[in-house]
């Protein structure tokens, strides 16, 4: 009977350790899932910002926009063609 008690005790310890391992793995899984959700949201936010920056870049490199800003904010004017007076 002592041998049977030893086997039962070993099996009980094995089941207990296994249960603790399952709980630990489940907790780790939940924590990692939270990290994944956070990183996915960060990826979405960065994709939105990237799109906004691409639109801003295309606006800033537009020559008409640059000319408008130069005229309105900096008070710049276009270079006028020189006028020549021909004397005879």
- Residues 32-69: pLDDT tens digits? 999 999 999 999 999 999 999 999 998 888 888 888 88
On whether residue 81 sits in a domain, the answer given is no
Note down the domain range covering 29.
2-72
On whether residue 54 sits in a domain, the answer given is yes
Q: How far is CA 37 from each of CA 25, 27, 60, rounded to the nearest angstrom? A: 18, 16, 35
On whether residue 47 sits in a domain, the answer given is yes
On whether residue 32 sits in a domain, the answer given is yes
Position 42 scores a pLDDT of 98
**pTM given for the model:** 0.56
The label of the residue with tokens 């008409």 reads 64
What is the 8-class DSSP label of residue 84?
-
CB 77 within 8 A of CB 71: yes
């Amino acid at each position: 009977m002592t041998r049977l008690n030893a086997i039962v005790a070993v099996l009980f310890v094995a089941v207990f350790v296994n249960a603790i391992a399952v709980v630990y793995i489940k907790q780790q899984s939940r924590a990692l899932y939270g990290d994944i959700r956070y990183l996915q949201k960060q990826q979405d936010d960065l994709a939105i910002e990237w799109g906004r920056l691409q639109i801003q870049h295309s606006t800033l490199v537009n020559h008409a926009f640059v000319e408008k800003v130069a005229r309105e904010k900096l008070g710049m004017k276009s270079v006028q063609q020189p006028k020549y007076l021909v004397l005879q």
